[in-house]
Structure 1
Amino acid sequence: MVSVGSRALSLRKNRVTSVTELTLDVVDSHCILGEKKRKMGRKPFKKDGGRGGNCNYENSSGGMGDDNVKDKKFQKDKDSSTSLSSFIRKQVDPETSKYFLDIATVLEGTEIDLEERGVICGNALGEARGKEVELANDYIISHTMQILLEGCSLDHLCGFLRSCSKSFANIALDRSGSHVAETALKSLAMHLEDTENYSLVEDTLSTICKEIVANPVDIMCSCHGSHVLRSLLCLCKGAPLDSEFHHTKSSTTLADRLNLRSYRREDIGHTQESFPDLLNSLVSGIISSPGKDLRTIRANQYSSMVLQTCLKLIAGYEEQLLHLVPILLGCKAGNAVKGNWIQAADVQNILRSVEEMAFSRLMEVILEVAPDPLYIELFTKVFRNSLFEMSSHQCGNFVVQALISQMRSQDQMSIVWEELGGKFKDLLEMGMHGVVASLIAASQRLNTHESKCSQALSSAVCLENESPRCIVPRILYLDNYFNSADKLNWNWPNGSKIHVMGSLILQSIFSFPSEFIHAFLSSITSLEENQVLNTSKDPSGARVIEAFLNSNSSTKHKRKLVVKLRGHFGELSFHQSGSFTVEKCFNVSSLSMREAIVSELSSVQTELSKTKHGPYLLRKLDVEGFARYPEQWKSKQSSKESVYKEYIADFGSKNTDLSRSGNFIVGHGQKARPENLKEMRKEIDTRLTSSSGTPFLAHQGPVAKMKKSGHKRPFEKADGTNKKSKKAW
């Protein structure tokens, strides 16, 4: 039986422990922990990347390009000497080391009920009093400390954090200690589920925040400390510690910029109790305290990530942003009182800083959260007349993308168009596809310059004397085309993957009104059968086909493309991305074509039902019903078409094109309500597929009050993006 508690250490005083015995004990205990220590979320040692290794780079941008670039200046800044970096870690004495390794054996080796486990964890943490830093920073014992912090009561957890609050930074800066610090914060977040714990948690966090604000630079500029500090900020906000505020993904930011997500950052609420006063004081202390070190923290990749998190968490708080953002920009504090935040002398400093990777990422977030007055000042004073030069820079182009995606008015779009409208070809040749994609998406969002964007894009890939049928293929394979030595004789590259940004650009183009994109409609319907099939099999290409089938072009154009897939729907349905395309093709097809599609799926029904996505597709198209009762299936499909046409006749405008009823497309001059139309179609399908003989809408109230079914594809997210093969671009 292992002694645990205050007497445990004294019981071992008479025991003679040699260096060899101690080493063997440590090795044995390390082996006992084995695989279970990985549950603590710690990564193994690596030489390149990951918080567990000596990482020189961590992705925090959200830009649209390749982020795997090392910046030597970052490493230089990180290694700069500071007061905390001179901290010398003490060795854990042998008696204490053996005690905690024995505790780990007890907790890992046998089944213990929760109450007894909590007592053991609490007693062990009591023995750690005054030695928290040494224990947390020990590579092996730190794993045990994480187990103790997860299993102890709130009182013991807060006692541990208050006891080591003055040394919390030294723990957070260590490779092993940072994991202990984060485990403690995650445990605090778990206890917040009980509102009675709010006051105790707030007092504990307040103690830690005061110590960090006293000297935030060291912890901000550390790979490990930066991660812990961002977790602390999220905890004060009430946001999950693994939320997008903490780990900004490129796909998430890109989805926002290209109108693929329907909410802004300030619309995201917190999921647990928050501490607004603590958050405000911590953010203000982090941003305002550095003083002369401001240039250092802006140019350091890890501190830049902390500043980005600060800004995201206070998005929507205009007064606080108007005070703190000018400080980050290096502007004089007195200017904020006049409402004139940026002076002429500040402009060149900002433009030079934007060429640094860390600051360019910070500037992206600044533009995303900046209140209207500050955004307008940045737009007019700093970036106007420098847009193309910035777009040509490997870091500056991401800032231009952020600036464009946050434009507030059509007038701003006109200003940007003057500088970039005639530069589409140059930008694509340089590989700055994101700038073009952002500009097209902004055109769609602001409902301006759609025709000009369409013409500029087609001119960038197609000469005046060339057939427009080459436009879509060249955009699908952007880099392949622009890297070709003989562009005039360029042909479809069989076997190559479709360019992701080219796919996104075409998706935005097909969201334009059809009268602006005649050349693109002509090009995509001119694709050969094998080209349409290859495009539909590719995850990025399938998105383009779906965007075209969802566009407001005529049903005639859409069916012209669908016919080219005839004979391949069974093959295509086995691809997870292709199954979406099959469903879209079915929705826009005539009754005879629908019958052909379902007939092809029926021949592979058994094999398709074994795939992850197959059962949904088979059920959606009622393939089994077609196989058993083909005439009844045809009757139901005819009934659906009749109801669709009746609905449009009753609720559509005079300009509604009845030939497009299969897609529920409203006429020009009428604002579409896609949510209502989509739910209406679902309701029609559900009613007509049900076994009851009740006529559709026989006992229903007004259409607008119809209850939403809420049915979604089992392998699709709520925003319409696939979890695996269809990422949220």
Structure 2
Amino acid sequence: MCCRPPANSNSSSFRGLKTSKQEVPSGLAAKLGGVSATAAGISGKKHSSTVATLAAELLGSGMDEPPPCRLPELISRFTAVVCSDDYVGAVVSELVYHPYACPFLQALLRAAACDRKALRQLVPVLLGATSFNDSVKGGAGAVLEGCREEEVSAMLTDPTTSHLMEVLLQVLPRALLEEFFRRFIGPRLAELAHHPSANFVVQTVLVAAPSKEMAKTMYDSLSGLLPDLLRKRRSGVVVALVACCGRHGICQREVCTALASALSGIPQWADLKGDAVLAPALLCLDSVPIIGSNEPFSAATVAAARGGGSSLPRLSPTGCSILTQILRYGQGACRAFTDSVASLKPHDAARVGADPSGSRVLEALLEGNAPAKVKGTLLAALADHWDAVATTASGSFLVETAYRWAELNAKEAIVSRLAAASKVLEVTHWGPSLLRKVGAEAYKRDPEQWRRHAASATKTLDQFTKLFGDDSAAGKPQAIAKGTVVAQGKGIEKDAGANKEKEKKEEKMGKIKRKHEVAPAREEGNEEGTGMVTGHEDGKDVGTIVAEYRTALQAEPMPKSARKSKKGKKQQRDE
């Protein structure tokens, strides 16, 4: 067996890795993933179903099934060699601890994820079992019965073999995973969570937890350890725990209460009282406490940092990850954290928005199901700092999200600041696109015309919302504030009224469709083709409304001279 891997290789280069609904790829970014059933606000169900559909299409099967193996014969040969009498026992025990052989065995496990029989052979051999039962009737206990607890415990805590255990937990079938957890991890969960190597195995277990019962068991064991885990720099376990509870929709209120209690006990934030401590403590977890002082922050601050060849102080990636997941919970659980983020002082909010990790926190609040008043408070705090936020690459995404959710006055605050800083933004690779999306050039040319265009775009979005419901117009908060019948669902009488209104619209749209079949096609040179939405009639068909919805926010008003030119060309064609 060749132990040394080729140069520049890693486990991610192997094709056909298992991706299932229960697991999220390892790493901190992966722990930001799963959207729970109650976490993503009005668009959560649609997002989950879309992800499931795309995954099934890509994998060619259900999400619970791994993709088919591309080289089954090669994997079978490797499996036969590792499980042969020449390797079982002392040789395999030496290989799993070898710094070069262990990555190969990890890759072999990932490749064998598509073959349950191969896994039932490999797992006990790699865990040091001298005998195993790989028959079809043999359950999970029969497969793992020859594994010794002392040997598995040593592998969980070793810096090299702990990586093998992480991969093992990612590829195990559900029955084997639950059995492995009950025997080797569950009884020592608190101890392993504090271990410098084994805590990553605990994170993987939390990510791969296949059932609510298993997730609840882990929460009960870890909830009382949150203060110690945060203080001893084991916050990755907290990230995985918060994400696990959100993914399964369990203990969300409890985990928020326990986390708030843990954060309130951090000495460096003793000056902040009540909910005000929650956001700063997480944003600056394991990092410099730059939030809370409200020190001046502007575009000049960003430019000075770049000019000096340095970067701005970073917020805590793990703390921002925890806060991002918390903000995706239902408001009944996370309202204290939502209010804490929204109550950040203007300069602090701008620093968070310009940070690569902090910007995701503010995006989570704006895209979540927080009340419109809370979102408006955050947008008001950032009103004078949008130019500073937009001068960073990560902040530009926040600006786009805020512009999508803002009311007319908040939109104007964004575009006015960006228009004033257009020369600075144009030299960045994201600036021209951002300026075009918010219509900065049109605002500089004629602010009043821009306001009319923005108001008309708002009417288009409202009409789209009334026709398709809130799920289709998830990017518009006004639909939530107005409380349409489809979104609220209050009572059978309203539902019946909505159905009658829908039938009338369908009947009316059918007549209009037949009318359009006879009417001539719309000329491309008229004013409606410029993206300016000048008015809306109840009789528009679905295609017209969708087309206007797509262009309503991004299309800039066309100058009057250009319109006259096109109008003249149209008259020439008509003549």
Asked if these proteins are the same fold (TM beyond 0.5), I'd say yes
Give the Cα separation in 2 of the matches to 1:704 and 1:473: 42
Matches within 5 A, 1:138-149: none
Residue in 1 that maps onto 2:507: none
Matches within 5 A, 1:272-671: 274-286=70-82, 288=84, 290-291=87-88, 292-337=90-135, 338-339=138-139, 340-343=142-145, 346-463=148-265, 466-480=273-287, 492=293, 496-652=313-469, 660-661=477-478, 667=487
Deviation at 1:374, TM superposition (A): 0.8
CA contact (8 A) 2:203 2:237 kept: yes
Deviation at 1:333, TM superposition (A): 3.4
Deviation at 1:454, TM superposition (A): 1.0
The 1:586–1:692 alpha-carbon spacing in structure 2 relative to 1, beyond 3 Å, is closer
Deviation at 1:452, TM superposition (A): 1.1
The 1:658–1:479 alpha-carbon spacing in structure 2 relative to 1, beyond 3 Å, is closer
Give the Cα separation in 2 of the matches to 1:234 and 1:534: 34
Deviation at 1:640, TM superposition (A): 2.7
Give the Cα separation in 2 of the matches to 1:708 and 1:317: 46
Matches within 5 A, 1:84-95: none
The 1:705–1:491 alpha-carbon spacing in structure 2 relative to 1, beyond 3 Å, is closer
Total equivalences in the alignment = 456
Output the amino acid matched with 1:690. G
Give the Cα separation in 1 of the matches to 2:225 and 2:28: 22
CA contact (8 A) 1:259 1:445 kept: no
CA contact (8 A) 1:636 1:689 kept: no
Give the Cα separation in 2 of the matches to 1:669 and 1:293: 65
Cα deviation code 1:62-90 (max 9, x no counterpart): xxxxxxxxxxxxxxxxxxxxxxxxxxxxx
CA contact (8 A) 1:234 1:313 kept: no
Output the amino acid matched with 2:6. H
Deviation at 1:422, TM superposition (A): 1.5
Give the Cα separation in 2 of the matches to 1:504 and 1:257: 8
Give the Cα separation in 2 of the matches to 1:648 and 1:336: 56
Matches within 5 A, 1:238-277: 253-259=27-33, 274-277=70-73
Give the Cα separation in 2 of the matches to 1:497 and 1:362: 32
Structure 1: give runs of 5+ residues left out of the alignment.
1-215, 485-489, 671-686, 713-729
Residue in 1 that maps onto 2:542: 700
Give the Cα separation in 2 of the matches to 1:379 and 1:273: 27
SS of aligned partner of 2:253: helix
Give the Cα separation in 2 of the matches to 1:290 and 1:708: 62
Cα deviation code 1:93-136 (max 9, x no counterpart): xxxxxxxxxxxxxxxxxxxxxxxxxxxxxxxxxxxxxxxxxxxx
Cα deviation code 1:415-448 (max 9, x no counterpart): 1112111211111111111111001101111111
The 1:272–1:441 alpha-carbon spacing in structure 2 relative to 1, beyond 3 Å, is closer
Give the Cα separation in 2 of the matches to 1:370 and 1:606: 55
CA contact (8 A) 1:230 1:306 kept: no
Output the amino acid matched with 2:122. L
Q: Once structures 1 and 2 are overlaid, which stretch shifts more, 279-288 or 541-550?
A: 279-288
The 1:372–1:556 alpha-carbon spacing in structure 2 relative to 1, beyond 3 Å, is same
Give the Cα separation in 1 of the matches to 2:12 and 2:390: 42
Cα deviation code 1:465-508 (max 9, x no counterpart): 94110111011111258xx9xxxxx9659774211100111110
Q: Once structures 1 and 2 are overlaid, which stretch shifts more, 311-320 or 595-604?
A: 311-320
CA contact (8 A) 2:98 2:160 kept: yes
Output the amino acid matched with 1:634. R
Deviation at 1:667, TM superposition (A): 4.8
Deviation at 1:331, TM superposition (A): 2.4
Output the amino acid matched with 2:76. N
Give the Cα separation in 2 of the matches to 1:360 and 1:707: 51
SS of aligned partner of 2:411: helix
Deviation at 1:268, TM superposition (A): 6.0
Cα deviation code 1:376-403 (max 9, x no counterpart): 1111121112111000100110000000
Q: With the length of structure 1 as denominator, give the TM-score of the two structures.
A: 0.56
SS of aligned partner of 2:5: helix
Deviation at 1:254, TM superposition (A): 3.0
CA contact (8 A) 2:379 2:406 kept: yes
Structure 2: give runs of 5+ residues left out of the alignment.
36-50, 61-65, 296-311, 491-527, 555-575
Give the Cα separation in 1 of the matches to 2:406 and 2:457: 13
Residue in 2 that maps onto 1:13: none
Q: Once structures 1 and 2 are overlaid, which stretch shifts more, 405-414 or 275-284?
A: 275-284
Residue in 2 that maps onto 1:111: none
Give the Cα separation in 1 of the matches to 2:408 and 2:56: 44
Give the Cα separation in 1 of the matches to 2:294 and 2:534: 53
Output the amino acid matched with 2:153. L
Deviation at 1:276, TM superposition (A): 2.4
Cα deviation code 1:617-649 (max 9, x no counterpart): 111112122223433322232223223333333
The 1:336–1:702 alpha-carbon spacing in structure 2 relative to 1, beyond 3 Å, is farther
Give the Cα separation in 1 of the matches to 2:146 and 2:5: 33
Give the Cα separation in 2 of the matches to 1:466 and 1:260: 32
CA contact (8 A) 2:456 2:534 kept: no
Give the Cα separation in 2 of the matches to 1:700 and 1:553: 30
The 1:266–1:293 alpha-carbon spacing in structure 2 relative to 1, beyond 3 Å, is farther
Output the amino acid matched with 1:403. V
Give the Cα separation in 2 of the matches to 1:275 and 1:597: 54
Q: Once structures 1 and 2 are overlaid, which stretch shifts more, 439-448 or 689-698?
A: 689-698
CA contact (8 A) 2:275 2:340 kept: yes
The 1:695–1:327 alpha-carbon spacing in structure 2 relative to 1, beyond 3 Å, is farther
CA contact (8 A) 2:456 2:535 kept: no
Residue in 2 that maps onto 1:226: 5
Give the Cα separation in 2 of the matches to 1:317 and 1:330: 21
CA contact (8 A) 2:470 2:480 kept: no
Give the Cα separation in 1 of the matches to 2:244 and 2:185: 17
Deviation at 1:310, TM superposition (A): 1.3
Give the Cα separation in 2 of the matches to 1:538 and 1:319: 47
Give the Cα separation in 2 of the matches to 1:427 and 1:467: 22
Q: Once structures 1 and 2 are overlaid, which stretch shifts more, 283-292 or 576-585?
A: 283-292
Q: Once structures 1 and 2 are overlaid, which stretch shifts more, 289-298 or 264-273?
A: 264-273
Q: What is the Cα-based RMSD across aligned positions, in Å? A: 4.2
The 1:459–1:570 alpha-carbon spacing in structure 2 relative to 1, beyond 3 Å, is same
Give the Cα separation in 2 of the matches to 1:505 and 1:643: 37
% identical aligned pairs: 26
CA contact (8 A) 1:326 1:336 kept: no
